[in-house]
Protein backbone atom coordinates (compact mmCIF):
# COMPACT_ATOMS: atom_id res chain seq x y z
CA UNK A 1 0.00 0.00 0.00
CA UNK A 2 1.36 3.42 -0.93
CA UNK A 3 1.74 6.18 1.61
CA UNK A 4 -1.01 8.18 -0.11
CA UNK A 5 -3.43 5.24 -0.05
CA UNK A 6 -2.74 4.73 3.64
CA UNK A 7 -3.33 8.42 4.29
CA UNK A 8 -6.69 8.27 2.54
CA UNK A 9 -7.68 5.25 4.60
CA UNK A 10 -6.73 7.00 7.84
CA UNK A 11 -9.48 9.59 7.28
CA UNK A 12 -12.10 6.84 7.41
CA UNK A 13 -10.40 5.00 10.25
CA UNK A 14 -10.53 8.00 12.56
CA UNK A 15 -14.32 7.88 12.69
CA UNK A 16 -14.66 4.09 12.49
CA UNK A 17 -15.35 1.88 15.48
CA UNK A 18 -12.60 -0.31 16.93
CA UNK A 19 -14.26 -3.38 15.40
CA UNK A 20 -14.43 -1.71 11.99
CA UNK A 21 -10.73 -0.87 12.21
CA UNK A 22 -9.90 -4.52 12.89
CA UNK A 23 -12.06 -5.67 9.96
CA UNK A 24 -10.38 -3.10 7.69
CA UNK A 25 -6.97 -4.44 8.68
CA UNK A 26 -8.11 -8.01 8.06
CA UNK A 27 -9.57 -7.15 4.66
CA UNK A 28 -6.47 -5.18 3.67
CA UNK A 29 -3.71 -7.52 4.85
CA UNK A 30 -5.29 -10.97 5.18
CA UNK A 31 -2.85 -13.64 6.34
CA UNK A 32 -0.06 -11.06 6.57
CA UNK A 33 -1.68 -9.50 9.66
CA UNK A 34 -0.54 -10.25 13.22
CA UNK A 35 -1.19 -8.69 16.60
CA UNK A 36 1.03 -8.09 19.61
CA UNK A 37 0.30 -8.23 23.30
CA UNK A 38 2.27 -7.49 26.46
CA UNK A 39 -0.37 -8.99 28.75
CA UNK A 40 -0.49 -5.62 30.47
CA UNK A 41 -3.17 -3.97 32.59
CA UNK A 42 -5.95 -3.88 29.98
CA UNK A 43 -4.59 -6.39 27.44
CA UNK A 44 -7.72 -8.53 27.66
CA UNK A 45 -9.58 -5.78 25.78
CA UNK A 46 -7.52 -5.97 22.60
CA UNK A 47 -7.16 -9.74 22.79
CA UNK A 48 -10.91 -10.25 23.05
CA UNK A 49 -11.76 -7.51 20.54
CA UNK A 50 -9.44 -8.85 17.84
CA UNK A 51 -9.88 -12.59 18.34
CA UNK A 52 -13.66 -12.19 18.35
CA UNK A 53 -13.23 -11.18 14.71
CA UNK A 54 -10.03 -13.08 13.84
CA UNK A 55 -9.85 -16.12 16.16
CA UNK A 56 -6.75 -17.61 14.46
CA UNK A 57 -4.65 -14.45 14.20
CA UNK A 58 -1.06 -14.98 15.39
CA UNK A 59 -0.63 -13.23 18.75
CA UNK A 60 3.00 -12.27 19.28
CA UNK A 61 4.18 -12.10 22.88
CA UNK A 62 7.69 -10.76 23.50
CA UNK A 63 8.89 -12.35 26.75
CA UNK A 64 11.92 -10.56 28.17
CA UNK A 65 12.30 -13.00 31.06
CA UNK A 66 11.87 -10.09 33.46
CA UNK A 67 8.10 -9.81 33.61
CA UNK A 68 6.21 -9.79 36.90
CA UNK A 69 5.14 -13.25 38.14
CA UNK A 70 1.57 -11.96 38.00
CA UNK A 71 2.04 -11.18 34.30
CA UNK A 72 3.05 -14.75 33.48
CA UNK A 73 0.03 -16.08 35.35
CA UNK A 74 -2.26 -13.54 33.67
CA UNK A 75 -0.83 -14.55 30.27
CA UNK A 76 -1.55 -18.21 30.96
CA UNK A 77 -5.11 -17.39 32.06
CA UNK A 78 -5.92 -15.30 28.99
CA UNK A 79 -4.20 -17.65 26.56
CA UNK A 80 -6.32 -20.54 27.77
CA UNK A 81 -9.56 -18.61 28.21
CA UNK A 82 -9.44 -16.91 24.80
CA UNK A 83 -7.78 -19.85 23.01
CA UNK A 84 -5.05 -17.60 21.66
CA UNK A 85 -2.83 -18.60 18.75
CA UNK A 86 0.12 -17.46 20.84
CA UNK A 87 3.60 -17.03 19.36
CA UNK A 88 6.14 -16.36 22.09
CA UNK A 89 9.50 -14.82 21.19
CA UNK A 90 12.50 -14.21 23.43
CA UNK A 91 16.04 -12.86 23.18
CA UNK A 92 18.63 -15.18 21.69
CA UNK A 93 20.44 -15.39 25.03
CA UNK A 94 18.85 -15.85 28.45
CA UNK A 95 18.39 -13.17 31.08
CA UNK A 96 21.01 -14.87 33.27
CA UNK A 97 23.58 -14.87 30.46
CA UNK A 98 22.86 -11.24 29.63
CA UNK A 99 23.51 -10.20 33.22
CA UNK A 100 26.71 -12.25 33.34
CA UNK A 101 28.01 -10.62 30.15
CA UNK A 102 26.66 -7.08 30.38
CA UNK A 103 25.44 -6.53 33.92
CA UNK A 104 22.07 -4.96 34.67
CA UNK A 105 21.72 -2.86 31.55
CA UNK A 106 18.58 -1.11 32.79
CA UNK A 107 20.74 0.52 35.48
CA UNK A 108 23.11 1.93 32.84
CA UNK A 109 21.20 5.05 31.83
CA UNK A 110 19.61 5.64 28.45
CA UNK A 111 22.36 3.86 26.48
CA UNK A 112 21.99 0.79 28.66
CA UNK A 113 18.22 0.82 28.25
CA UNK A 114 18.58 1.09 24.49
CA UNK A 115 20.90 -1.93 24.35
CA UNK A 116 18.58 -3.86 26.66
CA UNK A 117 15.51 -3.06 24.57
CA UNK A 118 17.22 -3.90 21.30
CA UNK A 119 18.27 -7.28 22.64
CA UNK A 120 15.10 -8.22 24.49
CA UNK A 121 12.31 -6.56 22.53
CA UNK A 122 13.30 -5.18 19.15
CA UNK A 123 15.32 -8.14 17.84
CA UNK A 124 12.73 -10.76 18.94
CA UNK A 125 9.94 -8.70 17.32
CA UNK A 126 11.97 -8.30 14.16
CA UNK A 127 12.42 -12.08 14.07
CA UNK A 128 8.71 -12.67 14.69
CA UNK A 129 7.74 -10.44 11.77
CA UNK A 130 10.11 -12.22 9.41
CA UNK A 131 9.17 -15.75 10.49
CA UNK A 132 5.43 -15.06 10.40
CA UNK A 133 5.60 -13.21 7.08
CA UNK A 134 3.80 -10.19 8.51
CA UNK A 135 3.22 -6.96 6.66
CA UNK A 136 0.98 -5.34 9.28
CA UNK A 137 0.28 -5.62 12.97
CA UNK A 138 -2.47 -4.63 15.37
CA UNK A 139 -1.33 -3.11 18.66
CA UNK A 140 -3.12 -1.70 21.69
CA UNK A 141 -1.51 1.74 21.92
CA UNK A 142 -3.75 4.56 23.18
CA UNK A 143 -3.31 8.31 22.87
CA UNK A 144 -4.09 8.84 26.55
CA UNK A 145 -1.02 6.83 27.59
CA UNK A 146 1.48 9.63 27.04
CA UNK A 147 2.91 12.40 24.90
CA UNK A 148 4.72 10.00 22.56
CA UNK A 149 1.34 8.48 21.64
CA UNK A 150 -0.95 11.51 21.69
CA UNK A 151 -0.34 12.44 18.06
CA UNK A 152 -0.59 8.96 16.53
CA UNK A 153 -2.81 8.12 13.59
CA UNK A 154 -5.01 5.03 13.68
CA UNK A 155 -2.78 3.49 11.00
CA UNK A 156 0.82 4.42 10.28
CA UNK A 157 3.89 3.04 8.58
CA UNK A 158 7.08 2.19 10.44
CA UNK A 159 9.82 1.26 8.03
CA UNK A 160 8.07 -1.32 5.80
CA UNK A 161 5.45 -2.32 8.37
CA UNK A 162 1.92 -0.96 8.69
CA UNK A 163 0.68 -0.64 12.26
CA UNK A 164 -2.97 -0.29 13.22
CA UNK A 165 -4.19 0.82 16.64
CA UNK A 166 -7.90 -0.08 16.99
CA UNK A 167 -8.36 1.41 20.48
CA UNK A 168 -6.08 4.41 20.03
CA UNK A 169 -8.82 6.87 20.98
CA UNK A 170 -10.15 4.91 23.98
CA UNK A 171 -9.59 6.20 27.51
CA UNK A 172 -9.29 4.13 30.70
CA UNK A 173 -13.01 4.42 31.40
CA UNK A 174 -13.88 2.98 27.97
CA UNK A 175 -11.37 0.18 28.42
CA UNK A 176 -12.77 -0.68 31.84
CA UNK A 177 -16.34 -0.68 30.53
CA UNK A 178 -15.36 -3.12 27.76
CA UNK A 179 -13.89 -5.46 30.37
CA UNK A 180 -17.07 -5.29 32.45
CA UNK A 181 -19.40 -5.72 29.45
CA UNK A 182 -17.50 -8.80 28.27
CA UNK A 183 -16.75 -10.30 31.68
CA UNK A 184 -13.00 -10.08 31.12
CA UNK A 185 -10.20 -9.93 33.72
CA UNK A 186 -7.74 -7.09 34.07
CA UNK A 187 -4.18 -7.49 35.27
CA UNK A 188 -4.09 -8.23 39.02
CA UNK A 189 -1.43 -5.56 39.65
CA UNK A 190 -3.88 -2.84 38.57
CA UNK A 191 -5.39 -3.01 42.07
CA UNK A 192 -1.93 -2.37 43.55
CA UNK A 193 -1.47 0.92 41.68
CA UNK A 194 0.26 -0.20 38.48
CA UNK A 195 -1.29 1.53 35.45
CA UNK A 196 1.29 0.53 32.84
CA UNK A 197 3.17 -2.75 33.06
CA UNK A 198 6.42 -3.98 31.59
CA UNK A 199 9.51 -5.52 33.17
CA UNK A 200 9.58 -5.57 36.96
CA UNK A 201 12.86 -3.64 37.08
CA UNK A 202 11.62 -0.76 34.93
CA UNK A 203 8.01 -0.38 36.09
CA UNK A 204 6.74 1.50 39.13
CA UNK A 205 3.38 2.25 40.68
CA UNK A 206 1.56 5.46 39.85
CA UNK A 207 2.22 7.72 42.82
CA UNK A 208 0.68 11.14 43.54
CA UNK A 209 2.03 13.77 41.16
CA UNK A 210 3.26 11.24 38.58
CA UNK A 211 2.07 10.80 35.01
CA UNK A 212 1.53 7.38 33.47
CA UNK A 213 4.67 7.91 31.37
CA UNK A 214 6.79 8.34 34.48
CA UNK A 215 5.94 4.84 35.72
CA UNK A 216 8.09 3.30 33.00
CA UNK A 217 11.90 3.33 32.72
CA UNK A 218 12.17 5.75 35.65
CA UNK A 219 10.58 8.43 33.49
CA UNK A 220 13.56 8.43 31.12
CA UNK A 221 11.46 7.29 28.16
CA UNK A 222 8.04 5.86 27.32
CA UNK A 223 8.76 3.62 24.33
CA UNK A 224 10.94 0.51 24.22
CA UNK A 225 11.78 0.69 20.50
CA UNK A 226 8.80 -1.23 19.14
CA UNK A 227 6.59 1.84 18.99
CA UNK A 228 8.97 4.73 18.36
CA UNK A 229 7.66 7.38 16.01
CA UNK A 230 8.25 6.69 12.32
CA UNK A 231 11.72 7.76 11.32
CA UNK A 232 13.05 7.34 14.86
CA UNK A 233 12.37 3.66 15.37
CA UNK A 234 14.91 1.10 16.42
CA UNK A 235 12.64 -1.55 14.91
CA UNK A 236 14.08 -2.78 11.63
CA UNK A 237 12.53 -5.25 9.22
The question of whether 224 is a catalytic residue gets the answer yes
DSSP letter for each residue of 86-98: EEEE--SS-HHHH
Closest CA to 28 of 157, 169, 152, 176: 157
What CA–CA distance (Å, rounded) separates 97 from 194? 29
> What is the DSSP track for 172-197?
HHHHHHHHHHTT----GGGGGT-SS-
Number of neighbouring beta carbons within 10 Å of residue 83: 11
> In Å, how far are 18, 44, 49, 68, 125 from 173, measured between CA atoms?
15, 14, 16, 25, 30
Determine the Cα–Cα distance for residues 44 and 41; give it in Å rounded to an integer.
8
Handedness of CA 170, 175, 176, 180 (dihedral sign): positive
Given the residues 22, 25, 139, 224, the one annotated as active site? 224
Tell me which residues are annotated as active site.
224
Amino acid sequence: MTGEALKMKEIDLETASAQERVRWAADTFGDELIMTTSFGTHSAVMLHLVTSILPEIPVVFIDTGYLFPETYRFAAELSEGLKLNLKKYQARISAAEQEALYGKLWEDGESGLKKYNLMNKVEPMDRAVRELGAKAWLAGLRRSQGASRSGRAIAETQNRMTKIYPVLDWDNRTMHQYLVDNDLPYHPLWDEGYVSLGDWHSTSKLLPGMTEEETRFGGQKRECGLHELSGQADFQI
